[in-house]
Amino acid sequence: MIRKILTLAVVLALGLLAYNSFFGTAQEKEQAAEIRGKMKSIAVDLKNLVMSEKEKFDKGKFDDDIDKLSGIVSNIKDKAVSLGNEYSDKVEDLEKIKDQLSLKADEVEKTGTEADKEKLKEDLNNLLTQFRKVSEDMAKE
């Protein structure tokens, strides 16, 4: 119901604006031209807002994945220390890879192509798989 009312209001406002632009007095035509200029400015501002929000979203896209990996690393690292050197070394190696991917993610977010982003996703998934494997091996002991 509210949607229909808002749609009707917008259509009426645009209709009045069009009417004034073509059939209004000189003053009404001037007001209509001024309103069209403001509407264009608002549309451009909205477009810029949406684009900046999209960029912010894209920049934070890999941060969540890397934060999750960091949490997993800390949990596995604690368990690895209690099980001995073999697992500690494996976890340290995987942690170094995670740190490298974190730096790569920052770089890809700034200047990377879609192919770079897909490759980074694949690398993150592979790293997660390796962490799972180490975790499963540790659970067996």
pLDDT at 60: 63
- pLDDT tens for 117-128 read 788 888 888 888
Domain residue ranges in the chain: 2-140
- As a whole number of angstroms, the distance between CA 46 and CA 80 comes to 51
- pLDDT tens for 38-87 read 888 887 887 887 787 777 666 666 667 677 777 777 777 777 676 666 77
- As a whole number of angstroms, the distance between CA 131 and CA 66 comes to 13
- pLDDT tens for 3-27 read 899 899 989 988 998 999 999 899 9
Instruction: Please report how the helices 26-83 and 2-23 are oriented relative to each other, as an axis angle in degrees rounded to 10.
Output: 140
